[in-house]
Structure 1
Amino acid sequence: MILDDNNDDDIHDDDGDNDDDYANWNEERPSCQLSGGFRFRAIKKLTGEDICEKEWRWSTLEIECMKGDGMTFITPASNTKCNPFTPFKNKKRLVCWAVWESNDFTFMIASDVSSKQPKYCLRFPKNLQGDFIVLVYFSAFCPTHVSGKALPEMEYYEFRMHRRDPNKCEDDDEGKCRSMFRTPDDCAKNRSYALHCPLSCKRCPVPVREELESKTCQFQEILIGNWRYYTKRHFDTEKVTVNITPAVATFSHLSHFECLDRDKMDRKYKMVSFFENGCAPRFTCVEFNRQTANVLQYRISASERLELPMDQLCTFRDDPEPQKDFIRSYQFRNLIRERGFMSSFMPAFCGLSGKIPFDGTVNGHNCSGMVSDWDENRCTAVGTFALTSNTCKELVLPMEFQCLSFISEEEVKQELVITRSLDGTNTYNCWILTDYMKLHSLPLGVRMFYRMPTAQCTLGVDIADMSDGISDAVLYLNYEEKKHECNPQVPVLTSRVTKIVTTNPDYVVHSNKSLIPQETAVDVESNQSKDTSGQSSPITDPHRTERPYKSVSKDSTSCISYSIEILTAIVFVAKALPGGLFGS
């Protein structure tokens, strides 16, 4: 929103229409576009008063040091009136609603973090070199006249500002710093003032960075690689990636992080981020959980300007609106391994282990049919499942999905299946398999199979709490009629039971005992391992190699045993014939 060049009180938007309704603003909020760390002093324009005149320490503004952070104004102390936004508090965070350029200026519309309406306009010069002036209006309407003059009744401030130089070391006030800090103990006892005296306290940015970088650690090898974050937000216009090297993790939608320390379980990592734009270093905790070769889970804490102990830093919670759980979250987020050229995903368990009839809705239409991850020819579960039906047009052609990860916990009556669609769109989704609903109980033997719109989901969620229409597949699976049908391959010539010794004992799919009096196994050339949580993962890829996937089949030992019996019978017959098998 802008005021015209004459600051007429006929307020209008960019299209010239009168509009005081904010319903059409983008609730997800754009980036503030500008970024960096700055020092400033605030002058109240209506009176010309330096509101922090009695304070020699400079105030700080940091913008988008971490993507999505918005703007944070930090004043030297909370017991002064230096903060024009909230007197007697030393921090104020704003989020951007709109950003545009006009003439030589960049305008930002902003609000408090939790506000549902914009409240401020900020005018920055396009050139942020040297000393410059930023005008802050306590209104969502921006005067566009080059003078920046506001309406008489409008409160606004002049911030006299300059960007902090990360390679330069200087005190806010050299004389006062020298008189206050004569020894290192003086700096340790008064950290709030020491932060403004880096030269006197020998805490200059470059040596501090070198000291931190000397303590760097290494990520677990199973975390290293390229990963994708799939979610339906305005950020999806970009390719959201997570790249992890031995010592650095780069989140394209957030920032880069260098490993400083890790806990005894090798799951939680203390990270540090450095910047060249004037932002102070940030300390962040990231927790990883490798589920399978295809899926890596993570959650990330809020970033702090001061280094905290691991137990204090590793506190996880959702961001306030509108970010919510997109970047920082209490629950884990799912990352999908990025496939290289001519590479494929590793096979993973789907969790159904049979053919199960369903009733429900597909794309909003009633539908009944069959969901199956069962191969009748090989008599075993496979790494894909299909939805088939003769009752609804949505499944005239079966829907097929490749399973990337099966996630479960004993204490939760739910499982998660992360999938990739096999219809050519390469859509990634999470399916929730549950027998619990808060509003009404499911019949005995029935479980709900619920497709989420993205690959993001978490255990313990109540389907009843979700918005209507969020899923395009809500299926009620009748486990009472689950089947394991098999097509016989060879006639059974002996009743001797051969004990199966699988090459991968943790990935055995138990068949329905009433139909098949034996076990079937997934034959994968790998050693089964567990993630750091102790939970057994069906398939892991600790060395990030693409081992050949033989097949999902009966264990080969039974075939070998059967072949030996045939050969033994042939030899016996040959010896019994006069003159041997071929005569003398």
Structure 2
Amino acid sequence: ALITLVTSCDFPKALLIKNDEDPWYTHVRANGSRGVEYYIRHNVIEILYPGSNKTPVRWKCSTSFHEKHLLKREDHLINSYYVCAKFLVRSRSIVQVMWSREVKVFDLSLCEDKNLILDPWPLVRYTTLYTDYKPCPFSGGYDMKVEDSRLGENGCNRMLRPMRMEAECLGGEGVSFDFISSNCLPDIKMYVKQKTMCVTHWRDQVNFYVILRRNEDDDLWCMVMPVRRHARTTAYLFADLSCRTDAGKTLNDLKYFTLHLHTRVYRSLCEDEYDKCSELECNSFLKHECQKSCKVCDPDSPPPSCEYPENIDGTWFLKTPPDRVTNIEITRSNLSIENVGNFLCVMFPDSPKSKTSNIYTAISLYDNGCRPRYTCVKIRRFGQSVIRYTLSQSHAWPSLASDIGEMVCNEDRFHADPLPIDDMYRSYEGAGKPIVAHHPRPEPINCNVTSIHTISATLPEGYVCLGSLYHHCEDATKLRMEFGSCGNLIPASTDYRCLADFEGHYWERILLVQNVNDETDAICFVFSKIYPTEAYVFTASQCDQKSFSFARGGIRKPLLKLEFRKEPEPCKSI
């Protein structure tokens, strides 16, 4: 039974657009056309059909309940039709709508689940698209054969060297396509080698539905990928932005691609790209594709392993906004970062001298079909309980470069990913990610806060709270931040233990601390000699050389902005 009627009937805030904003678009086609526009304001939806003779429709919300909305038609032609709609907000830029049929009388049963049908064409909000990102829901590498819904089989499907698709082999890589040559490129808005990022995704019992965006612009596709995958899998890539399960049936009006995927596992750096290599006569052209069969490399002589610093063995964690904890395990020769990857320390002839530079060449090997990755890892110690790691942009196998160590550790490869991923996985040049020891347990240090600070703290929402920051007279390794004026907005009092004190950018000091009562609550205070009455508080992962300048420039949002005055007393007794 349908109960709990609500008379006020506004649509979810996530859907509303202002008078001067672009609408939501749907029926987005591969040719760039956007066939339908949705203007959602307060309790009214106007649906327009630009470039078509179809009459615009205006729906007004009559009743809302259980996140469903009974709408009444209110345009100049018809005003006695009713329909039920349910909005599925997939992200800030992607929304799906479930519709009932239209009837001429007010009928609440329209909103029963059995009467709602999902529209496969998602609504797209382009104004927020470039800030929308969600890690892809599957990972793996595949040899790929492509079939165009209109043009049929791709001629390159019969080539020895396969086209490739790889997904999220390392965190942040997204889904990449390699069509081998321009002759093989299907009728799709992609480069021969194309990277895409996942905007958002959802799933049902059978499939993942993933909205992909080209890194360079706002071209979108919907990929339908089975949740349960085998060595051979079929996926669909819709160039007309429709997310549906009935591909392969009578969809003559839709532009989409059938991807026949085959998992091929690369267990070492010495492999062939395809099975037929062993039957072919080697030449200079084939050497690149058939390294193992052409004896370019020796599968029995992998690069020797190396060791990360002995005193960092253990388990660590990375705290990232808004409140996410990433677990990290370091053994002698392996760095394992949850949801990013494993980095096995190896030595190439030209690898940096890691003992003196603390720079390490690493490889990542997979059993899910991803090709191996080469990565450079920098490690820096900030005391007993905090280290910082920095990952380069990785290089994918194969590589015939004799200078692979120098190539992957070139300073040019140390930079963040494209927006909006930014420095979620890989840091800005000169920066890195501080991680805190889980085991062995952290050892506190002297906080070196030599006076009581009376503070005015600005929260991200703009509220200002008055309080103080000081170290315990009885224990110089403990710091307390307390507020008496902000109620539930911020804890009245929090005790931290100081774990690391290191230099930020010029004239900047970073003090990294851990909540005494919640060990995963790791933050830092960033001070500057140039702005001696200002400081910023960040989540631990954001505590680097960029913190202060990015906070002042509005690029990085701090947890708190502090303005303070130093008092004559050095500490307080607790």
Matched, 1:263 2:366: no
1 or 2, which has the higher strand percentage? 2
Q: What is the CA distance between 1:100 and its match in structure 2? A: 4.0
Letter of the structure 1 residue corresponding to residue 436 of structure 2: I
1:475 aligns with 2:573: no
Structure 2 portions without partners, runs of 5+: 1-24, 28-34, 38-94, 100-117
1:243 equivalent among 329, 338, 341: 329
CA distance in 2, matches of 1:2, 1:101: 20
2:188 is equivalent to residue 122 of structure 1: no
Which of 505, 514, 534 matches 1:448? 534
Once residues 289 and 490 of structure 2 are traced to their aligned partners in structure 1, the CA distance between those partners, rounded to angstroms, is 67
Aligned mate of 1:111, from 198, 213, 232: 213
For 2:230 and 2:465, locate their aligned partners in 1 and report how far apart those are by CA, in whole Å: 64
Query: Given the alignment of the two structures, is residue 279 of structure 1 paired with residue 380 of structure 2, yes or no?
Result: no
Among 132, 143, 148, the residue aligned to 1:44 = 148
The aligned residue for residue 12 of structure 2 is none
Mapped pair 1:232 → 2:329: no
The residue type equivalent to 2:435 in the other structure is L
CA distance in 1, matches of 2:557, 2:316: 29
Shift of 1:278: 1.4
Q: Secondary structure at the match of 1:52?
A: helix
| Aligned counterparts, 1:410-425, within 5 A | 412-422=506-516
Structure 2 partner of 1:433: 527
AA partner of residue 252 (structure 1): E
Q: Deviations over 1:404-428 (max 9, x none)?
A: 111126x711100001234558621
8 Å contact from structure 1 (residues 254, 327) kept in 2 = yes
With over 3 angstroms needed to count, the CA separation of the structure-2 counterparts of 1:86 and 1:132, relative to structure 1, is same
Pairing partner for 2:545 from 449, 452, 459: 459
Aligned residue in 2 for 1:310: 405
Conserved? CA contact 1:109–1:120, under 8 Å: yes
Superposed displacement of residue 476, structure 1: 2.1
Residue in 2 aligned with 1:292? 383
For residues 489-534 of structure 1, the C-alpha deviation after alignment (integer angstroms, 9 at most, x for no partner) is: xxxxxxxxxxxxxxxxxxxxxxxxxxxxxxxxxxxxxxxxxxxxxx
Q: Residue 450 of structure 1: CA displacement?
A: 2.0
Instruction: Work out the CA distance in 1 between the residues paired with 2:153 and 2:491.
Output: 74
Contact 2:472 / 2:480 at 8 angstroms: preserved in 1? no
Change (3 A) 1:148 1:349: farther
- Displacement, 1:137? 1.8
Counterparts of 2:520 and 2:146, CA distance in 1: 52
Deviations 1:171-205 (A, max 9, x none): 648489724x1xxxx4xx44xx434334531469x
Q: Secondary structure at the match of 2:98?
A: coil
What are the within-5 Å matches in structure 2 for residues 339-350 of structure 1?
339=439, 343=441, 345-350=442-447
Distance 1:332 1:131, change over 3 A: closer
How far the C-alpha of 1:254 sits from its partner, in A, is 0.6
1:467/1:69 CA distance change after superposition, 3 Å: closer
From 273, 289, 293, give the equivalent of 1:200: 293
Shift in alpha-carbon separation, 1:366–1:10, aligned structure 2, 3 A: closer
Cα separation, partners in 2 of 1:258 and 1:396, compared to 1, 3 Å: closer
Q: Does 1:320 align with 2:415?
A: no
Taking the aligned partners of 1:299 and 1:273, their CA distance within structure 2 comes to 16
Matched residue, 1:140: 241
- In 2, the alpha carbon distance for the partners of 1:53 and 1:362 equals 59
User: Which amino acid letter does the alignment assign opposite residue 244 of structure 1?
Assistant: I
d(CA) in 1 for partners of 2:276, 2:241: 39
Q: How does 1:337-416 map to 2 (within 5 A)?
A: 337-339=437-439, 343=441, 345-352=442-449, 354-361=450-457, 363=459, 370-373=468-471, 375=473, 382-387=476-481, 398-408=493-503, 412-416=506-510
Which SS does the other structure have where 1:243 is aligned?
Answer: strand
Cross-structure match for 1:90: 192
Which residue number corresponds to residue 301 of structure 2?
211
Note if contact 1:2-1:142 (Cα within 8 Å) is conserved in structure 2.
no
1:334 corresponds to which letter in structure 2?
Answer: P
Q: Are 1:388 and 1:395, in contact at CA under 8 Å, matched by a contact in 2? A: no
What pairs with 1:564-575 in structure 2 (closer than 5 Å)? Answer: none
1:20 is matched with which residue: 123, 133, 149?
A: 123
Instruction: Indicate if the aligned counterparts of 1:2 and 1:14 stay in contact, CA closer than 8 A.
Output: no
Deviation at 1:398, TM superposition (A): 4.6
RMSD, matched Cα? 3.9
Are positions 1:32 and 2:131 aligned together?
no
Against the structure 1 CA distance between its residues 455 and 300, is the aligned structure 2 distance closer, same or farther, given a 3 Å change threshold?
closer
Contact 2:352 2:406 in 1 (8 A): no
Separation of aligned partners in 1, 2:539 and 2:187: 43
In structure 1, distance between residues paired with 2:491 and 2:394: 50
C-alpha distance in structure 2 between counterparts of 1:254 and 1:392, whole Å: 38
Structure 1 pair 120–203 and aligned structure 2 pair: CA distance change class (3 A)? farther
Distance 1:278 1:39 in 2: 9
Paired with 2:404 and 2:258, the residues of 1 have a C-alpha distance of 38
> Following TM superposition, by how much is the alpha carbon of 1:305 offset from its aligned partner in structure 2, in angstroms?
1.6
> Which entry has the higher C-alpha Rg, 1 or 2?
1
Letter in 1 for 2:479: F
* CA distances 1:253-307 after superposition (whole Å, capped 9, x unpaired): 2111111036332411100111111111111111010101111111101121245
Per the TM alignment, residue 48 of structure 1 is displaced from its structure 2 partner at its CA by: 2.0
Equivalent position SS for 1:284: strand
**Paired residue type of 1:44:** D
Q: Using CA pairs below 8 Å that are at least 6 residues apart, which structure has the higher relative contact order?
A: 1
The Cα of 1:158 is off from its aligned counterpart by 2.8
Contact 2:277 2:293 in 1 (8 A): no
Partner of residue 175 from structure 2, selected from 71, 77, 90: 71
List per-residue Cα deviations over 1:306-342 (Å, max 9, x = no partner).
Answer: 45533321221001122210111122111011146xx
Q: Distance in 2 between matches of 1:171 and 1:452?
A: 46
Name the counterpart of 2:76.
Answer: none
- Change in CA separation of 1:48 and 1:358 when aligned onto 2, cut-off 3 Å: same
Percent identical residues: 18
TM-score (norm 2): 0.67
Q: In the aligned structure 1, how far is the partner of 2:229 from the partner of 2:443?
A: 50
Indicate how the Cα distance of structure 1 residues 316 and 149 shifts in structure 2: closer, same or farther if over 3 A, else same.
Answer: farther
The answer on whether the counterparts of 1:128 and 1:163 sit within 8 Å (CA) in structure 2 is no
Q: What is the letter of the counterpart of residue 476 of structure 1?
A: F
User: 2 CA distance for matches of 1:392 and 1:106?
Assistant: 44
Using structure 1 for the length normalisation, give the TM-score: 0.66
**TM-aligned CA deviation for residue 13 of structure 1:** 2.5
User: Does 1:220 find its partner at 2:309?
Assistant: yes
